[in-house]
Structure 1
Amino acid sequence: MEFVIKISQFLLSLSLLIILHEFGHFLPAKAFKTRVEKFYLFFDVKFSLFKKKIGDTVYGIGWLPLGGYVKISGMIDESMDTEQMAQPPQPWEFRSKPAWQRLIIMLGGVTVNFLLAIFIYIGMSYYYGDIVLPIDNIKDGLLIESTVANKAGLLTGDKIIAVDGEPIKNFSEISEKVLFGKKVTIERDGKESTVTLPEDFLSQLLDSKEKRFINLREPFVVVEVPDTSFNKNSGLKKGDIILGLNDYKTKYADQVKDGLEKFKGQQVEAKVLRDNHDVVVPLSISDDAKLGLVYASNSTPKTLEALGYYKYETKEYGFFESFPVGLKKAKDRLTSYWDQLGAIFTPSTGAYKGVGGFKAIYDIFPDFWSWQVFWSITAFLSIMLGVLNLLPIPALDGGHVMFLLYEMVSGRKPGDKFMEYAQMVGFIILIALVLFANGNDIFKAIFN
């Protein structure tokens, strides 16, 4: 069932983005009386799952879910229809239209992608609002579980107050800024200092295969005391929060782990919080510092606030207030993704190791259905699709835009033969990028 939920979200999001992107080309093409021969969701290599011709356009669904396309008459695109291009230009063809109209048609897809993201962020701001954790409300610092981060100089209990000189306002900003930052300003034991991250910090994290990086310090909550546990008769119950081992205070789960190392092989008195009351229970700690029970430290904001660990801020926005908030979120995500691309194309950072294909996108979606999470991911993917399509690679929208701008500035239109060769080169580059990204997915699936 979990697979069905994940794949349903993945396909729904992908289909929505593809259809709207292609409509971004389709609508201005129709407005400028340019014939659109095909409008396809997914690729119809050899055959289609569905197709129907309405007017001059065949609408269809292909079987290969790697994207979609519109085939515009008189345009050198992935169809490589050289026979049509050998005929005299017709008034309804793309090549017969003024350069400014062709530019609008080519920019239509990415424009829709960016507008869609803005629309989603505005809608989410209005409907859901925001729950944020101000950095000033994190009194005891953060949980830094990564050995790579520890080696770089970041330790559990550190307060991260700025990255590259830019102050951190909310907890949600920290991980991404640190991943792509250079200098991290921390507060440790009341003193400020600067940690300089190695240039290949991200590469080291990826190579380490560590799944956790920077998180909130959370309580040690007992989930289950199995019948096979050597502490099954201790009196410990589901929902208990361990606050101390003998005289060693353990407000957070990481402190419990330290306490287990401190008292391994011993019998201790554990102070636990149960139904808002302190209770003492005897616990045995094994020689390998284990309690023999199941615990969790992934409490919800509501739970953490109720326990007095953190104070979150809930922000609600009126209809008109949601517009600048949504615009800022879209701008921040766009800037963030652009920074990520910059890191990916800088080999020394090793960020290219984290590039993923369709499997990586699929993995982003949760195994439960949440419209809030779905729309948030879809908005980000829309920005990602828009940015990637603007890359100046022939065969992408950005490649066509590059040649159109050259034509508008120089007054000279690139020849059809040149465009055919450029399209072939661009297609080869795209195939290489797709193989690399999806090859990364396969590599990680096998060796991780």
Structure 2
Amino acid sequence: MEFVIKISQFLLSLSLLIVLHELGHFIPAKLFKTRVEKFYLFFDVKFSLFKKKIGDTVYGIGWLPLGGYVKISGMIDESMDKEQMEKPPQPWEFRSKPAWQRLIIMLGGVFVNFVLALIIYIFASFAYGDTDISVESIKDGYLIDNPLLTDLGFKTGDAIVKVGDAQVINDSDIRTNIIGAETVTIKRDGVEQTIVLPEDFLGQLSSSKDRRLFELREPFIVGMVPDSSHNSKAGLKPKDVLLSINGEHVRYFDQVKSKLEQYKNTQVTVEILRDTDTITKTLEVNENAQFGIVAATSYKKSSDLGYFDIVRKEYTLGESFGVGYEKFSNQITGYFGQLKLIFSPSTGAYKGVGGFKAIFDVFPNTWSWEAFWSITAFLSIMLGVLNLLPIPALDGGHVMFLLYEMISGKKPSDKFMEYAQTVGFFILIALVLFANGNDVFKAIFN
């Protein structure tokens, strides 16, 4: 069921973005009386799942969910329709239109992507507000359990003060600023110190089996007890909170493992908090120093128990415009920064590039409209920025040649554009193979 929910969100988001992006090309093409021969969601290699011709345009759904396209008459695109290009130009063709009209048609998709993201951020801010965790309220610092971080000198209990030059106010500030940061300032035993991150920190993190960073410390909260567990008959219930083991107080989940090491293959007496009642139970510890219980993560319950404060901000519709625009601009700036790191081999950030599986994994296992719209907004920005790259076969490549034409007054020949499109297509295929190859590599070796 979880897979169905994830794949449903993935396909819905992808379909929405593709259709709206292609509409960004389709609408100005129609406004400038340019014939659009095809409008497709997904690629129709050899055959279509659905197609219907309305006027001059065939609308359809392909079987290969790797994108979508509009085929505009008289344009050298991925269809490589050389036969049409060898005929005399017709008034309704793309190549017959003024350069400024062709530029608007080509920029239409990216424009829609950015506008869509901005609209989502504005109305999501109004509908959901913002929820975060105050770093100042965290009692005993963060859980540091990733060997990559411990080798750099981080320890469980460290408070995070700054990431790079950015002051950390809320928990999300860490994730927002860690990309590209050279240092992290921590507070340990009341003393601040700075830990220098290696230049290829992102590369090391992407290629390691453990990609956890700074985790919030929570109590041991019972999620479920499998029927196969040796404690299945112990009478535990979801949301029970472990308080002590054989009289020793246990505040955090990360302390349980070390406590249980001394009780392998024995029984222990534990205290459980259930709602407002304290209950005593006897549990068995197996040879791996485990209870055989699936723990749960519940920020709300942890907050209710005083582990940290959840900060919630709500906005009026008027305030949402400013907040949404700020989120939009920060995401664009951040994504361009990520691309800069990816194209700098010394950072190793290219190891974190992912394909369709990486995008699929971003979606949660449970349906959440708030998460769906947030992810869709980010993917819309990502799609827009990537399409602006000056690679022939992408919108940015066409824009690059159109700007050259408008500045120089010379239009590149159709033969040159065919060669450029072919080169761009192979570059694009190489990037797709690299990104999805990274997914396969991580799935096998990590």
Q: The TM-score by the shorter chain falls in which range?
A: over 0.9
Which residue of the other structure, out of 439, 442, 445, is the alignment partner of 2:443? 445
Counting only pairs closer than 5 Å after superposition, residues 138-177 of structure 1 correspond to structure 2 as 138-177=138-177
Q: d(CA) in 1 for partners of 2:30 and 2:275? A: 66
Which residue of the partner structure matches residue 216 of structure 1? 216
Which residue of the partner structure matches residue 16 of structure 1? 16
Q: d(CA) in 1 for partners of 2:237 and 2:378? A: 42
Q: 1:47 to 1:236 in 2, by over 3 A?
A: closer
Partner secondary structure for residue 215 of structure 1: coil
1:370 aligns with 2:368: yes
Q: Say if 2:223 and 2:296, in contact at 8 Å, map to a contact too.
A: no
**What is the Cα deviation at residue 375 of structure 1?**
1.4
Q: Say if 1:20 and 1:112, in contact at 8 Å, map to a contact too.
A: yes
Q: Say if 2:223 and 2:295, in contact at 8 Å, map to a contact too.
A: yes
Q: d(CA) in 2 for partners of 1:309 and 1:404? A: 58
Q: Identify the range of structure 1 (328-337 vs 232-241) with the bigger mean alpha-carbon deviation.
A: 232-241
**What is the Cα deviation at residue 104 of structure 1?**
1.0
Measured against aligned partners, the alpha-carbon deviations of 1:120-174 in whole angstroms (never above 9, x if no partner) come to 1111111111211122222321112211111112221111121111112211231
Q: 1:225 to 1:359 in 2, by over 3 A?
A: closer
Q: Say if 1:29 and 1:36, in contact at 8 Å, map to a contact too.
A: yes
**AA matched with 1:324:** G
**What is the Cα deviation at residue 46 of structure 1?**
1.9
Measured against aligned partners, the alpha-carbon deviations of 1:91-119 in whole angstroms (never above 9, x if no partner) come to 22212222221111111001100111111
1:358 aligns with 2:362: no
**What is the Cα deviation at residue 443 of structure 1?**
2.5
Which residue of the other structure, out of 379, 390, 399, is the alignment partner of 2:377? 379
Which residue of the partner structure matches residue 117 of structure 1? 117
**What is the Cα deviation at residue 265 of structure 1?**
7.6
Measured against aligned partners, the alpha-carbon deviations of 1:347-381 in whole angstroms (never above 9, x if no partner) come to 22222222221222222222322222221111111
Which residue of the other structure, out of 322, 344, 347, is the alignment partner of 1:346? 344
Q: 1:266 to 1:2 in 2, by over 3 A?
A: closer
Q: d(CA) in 2 for partners of 1:47 and 1:282? A: 63
Counting only pairs closer than 5 Å after superposition, residues 301-316 of structure 1 correspond to structure 2 as 301-316=299-314
Unaligned 5+ segments in structure 2 are none
Which residue of the partner structure matches residue 259 of structure 2? 259
Counting only pairs closer than 5 Å after superposition, residues 427-446 of structure 1 correspond to structure 2 as 427-446=425-444
Q: d(CA) in 2 for partners of 1:76 and 1:128? A: 44
TM-score, normalised relative to structure 1: 0.92
**AA matched with 2:49:** L
Partner secondary structure for residue 195 of structure 2: strand
Q: 1:260 to 1:70 in 2, by over 3 A?
A: same
1:294 aligns with 2:293: yes
Q: d(CA) in 2 for partners of 1:26 and 1:234? A: 63
Q: Identify the range of structure 1 (326-335 vs 17-26) with the bigger mean alpha-carbon deviation.
A: 326-335
Partner secondary structure for residue 144 of structure 1: coil
**What is the Cα deviation at residue 230 of structure 1?**
6.7
Measured against aligned partners, the alpha-carbon deviations of 1:280-331 in whole angstroms (never above 9, x if no partner) come to 556665665x1423141411x3212211112112211111111111111122
Q: d(CA) in 2 for partners of 1:53 and 1:227? A: 56
Q: d(CA) in 2 for partners of 1:385 and 1:43? A: 17
Q: Say if 2:44 and 2:62, in contact at 8 Å, map to a contact too.
A: yes
Partner secondary structure for residue 27 of structure 2: helix
Q: Say if 1:133 and 1:311, in contact at 8 Å, map to a contact too.
A: yes
- Percent identity over the alignment? 65
Q: d(CA) in 2 for partners of 1:227 and 1:38? A: 55
Q: 1:63 to 1:281 in 2, by over 3 A?
A: closer
**AA matched with 2:351:** K
Which residue of the partner structure matches residue 6 of structure 2? 6
Q: Say if 1:222 and 1:293, in contact at 8 Å, map to a contact too.
A: no
Which residue of the partner structure matches residue 59 of structure 1? 59
Q: 1:227 to 1:133 in 2, by over 3 A?
A: closer
Q: Say if 1:175 and 1:214, in contact at 8 Å, map to a contact too.
A: no
**What is the Cα deviation at residue 419 of structure 1?**
1.0
**What is the Cα deviation at residue 395 of structure 1?**
0.5
**AA matched with 1:408:** M
**What is the Cα deviation at residue 255 of structure 1?**
2.1
Partner secondary structure for residue 79 of structure 1: coil
Q: Say if 1:270 and 1:283, in contact at 8 Å, map to a contact too.
A: yes
Unaligned 5+ segments in structure 1 are none
Q: d(CA) in 1 for partners of 2:343 and 2:230? A: 53
Partner secondary structure for residue 412 of structure 2: coil
Which residue of the partner structure matches residue 403 of structure 2? 405
Q: Say if 1:74 and 1:89, in contact at 8 Å, map to a contact too.
A: yes
Q: 1:236 to 1:120 in 2, by over 3 A?
A: closer
Q: 1:89 to 1:141 in 2, by over 3 A?
A: same
Which residue of the partner structure matches residue 28 of structure 1? 28
Counting only pairs closer than 5 Å after superposition, residues 62-73 of structure 1 correspond to structure 2 as 62-73=62-73
**AA matched with 1:394:** P
Q: Say if 1:220 and 1:295, in contact at 8 Å, map to a contact too.
A: no
Which residue of the partner structure matches residue 39 of structure 1? 39
Which residue of the partner structure matches residue 418 of structure 1? 416
**What is the Cα deviation at residue 228 of structure 1?**
7.3
Q: d(CA) in 1 for partners of 2:8 and 2:277? A: 45
Q: Identify the range of structure 1 (161-170 vs 273-282) with the bigger mean alpha-carbon deviation.
A: 273-282
Q: 1:280 to 1:169 in 2, by over 3 A?
A: same
